[in-house]
Each structure stands twice: as structure tokens, then as C-alpha cells.
Amino acid sequence: MPVATWFASIFGKRKAPGVLIGHTDWVNAIAFSPGGYFLASGGKDRTVRLWRLEDCQQVWAVTGHADWVKSVAFSPNGQLIASGSGDKTVKIWSVKEGTLVTVLKGHTDWVNSVTFSPFGAWLLSGSSDKSVILWDTGNWEQVEIITHMSPVYSVTFSPDETLMAIGTYDGAVKIWKVPEGELILALPDHGDWVRCLTFSPDGKILATCCWTDKVWLWRIPEGDLVVSVTLPKEAATTIAFSPDGQILAVGTHSGSIYLWNSAVEKVVRVIQGHENHVSSVAFSPDGRWLASGSRDKTVRLWKVGSGDLNL
């Protein structure tokens, strides 16, 4: 059965989501499926889990890694999930079956970040071995290996998948051409571990955050600083743009989530609910929901307009 038909067969009218409980340790990563029907999560408990958002139920869970799962990502067609782990591998899973499709080996240390390119041609993985590997999703072969001076913690593609941005433990952020691997821009030293980076939906802005109270927005490809967002004595840990680019969600070490509005350039809402460090945030494709994964072992989903937990 085609994936689209399978989606239709199990979904009627979608209900408001709420709290997803199942992980037995830190939730390190979350990602919405392209259609917004599912959420994937990965954690310190070494599991990858798929959740159905209609009823907040777990569809499947696999303990397929030998160490923490640090990152998860859906393919653009919604058929695959990639997971990166402390066991030095990237694994590709079938969304429909929860079965292992293939294992990508090449890193020699923790894989901290994985992401598919927006049109699905490439997969990017960043590792504590100081390298980034660009994989061809047609044959799962390595296309390019880029070596840095420090462990790589965060990777992302531009929306047109012509650029990849890479953040490292020593505070460097560099932007490379895809697939050539040509360096086109190095941003100023961030001075600390680059926890997360993400492009705006139009590709004109790159947002970056470290383990500090600052989030920076940079104009791409010029590299000019557009604005620096300061949080009130909070350490930013993860960031995500809303699909329309108007809101930037910022998760923090304390468990708070800040919603920063680009039109008025200020924080317009603070969401409270997690009891610990927020490791990952993501907006649903329609922009109605914000998901957050935390070291309190939960995934929570919020109404973007109100910041209320949907129970």
C-alpha cells in the first residue's frame, strides 16, 4: 500500500495533541513528518519512536542503536526516518513498518546531527569526529566529507538545498555549497558551543544559538548580523522557525520556551511546562503546533497561538 494511502486509511479528523510519554530517559530530538500526521523522537534510552498525533499514541518504538539517539529527521516524502547516535552510525528506518532500511557507517565518533535536504537528494550528518558527511540518498554512498577543527554539533540545509550550514563545538559556523563542498562563508566566532542552527523558510536568514543567553540572526549569503536576541538569564539550547518565518521558538536549559516575533523583534510569549532542559523544538508543517522534547523524558505539543498544552 502506498504511504499516502496508508496515511488516509488510519486518519480521520485530527484531534488536538498533548503529552507524549514513553521515553525512559532524556528526549534528545524530535521531528514532524512532512504531512504533520506523525512525530518522531529519539532519546538517551537508545530508542527511536514514532507517534501518531491524532490520538497521541505511539505507533512503534525501536531500540536500534547501541548508544544515545542524538538526532532524528524525516525524509521529504515522509517514507523514511534518519537517526544519528553515539554509536557512530546513522540508521535509516521505514516509517510504515518501523524496520531498518540501511546503516550508514563512516563516522568514528558520536553522530550529533542528521538532516535530509528539502528535496530529498541528500542526507547530511555531523559528528564529534570533527567531520560532516554528505550522503546520496539514491544509493546511500558518501558524496563529500568535510573536516573541521572541532566536533560538529549541528547541521542544516538551506530551503533550496544549495547550501549547508555547520556549527561546531569551538563556536565556528561555516556555510558550504552543496554538493561541491566549497566554503562560501564563515560567520564570526560565536565564542561557545554552537548548539543549534536553522535557516528561515525563505533561506535569507540563518539563526544560531550557543549555550548562552543569545540567539543570533544572520543575513545569508552576506553574513551580516541582522539582530541579536537576548533571553532573560537563560541558556538557549535549541531553535526553530515557524513555517511562515514570523516566529522563532527558542528552547532553554531551564525548560522554558520563548516565542520571538520577527515583525516586532521581541519575545511575545513564554511557554512553561517542562521540568528540565528543552533539547529540541519543531513547528508542525501547518504552523498550528509547536512540539518540544526535554530531559524530563516527555514530548509536549502546544497551540502556537496560546502557548497552552493540548490535552
HSE-CB of 223 using CA atoms within 13 angstroms:
12
Residue 243 has pLDDT above 70, yes or no: yes
Sorted by where each starts, the structural domains of the chain and their CATH numbers stand as: 1-8+17-105 (2.40.128.630)
Spatial neighbors of 212 by CB under 8 A, at least 6 apart, are 191, 192, 235, 236
User: Which residue is listed with cell 531500540?
Assistant: 63
pLDDT tens for 65-91 read 999 999 999 999 999 999 999 999 999
Question: Strand 27-32 vs strand 38-43: parallel, antiparallel, or unpaired?
Answer: antiparallel
Residue 114 has pLDDT above 70, yes or no: yes
> What's the pTM value of the predicted model, to 2 decimals?
0.91
Average pLDDT, the chain: 92
Closest CA to 249 of 226, 279, 224: 279
Contact between 83 and 93 (Cβ < 8 Å): yes
Task: Check whether the bond before 232 is cis (ω within 30° of 0).
Answer: no
- In the numeric block, which cell numbers belong to residue 256? 522554558
Confidence of residue 18 (pLDDT cuts 50, 70, 90): confident
User: Which residue is listed with cell 536553522?
Assistant: 198
Q: Return the DSSP state at 179.
A: T
Confidence of residue 153 (pLDDT cuts 50, 70, 90): very high
Segment 215-231 mean pLDDT: 96
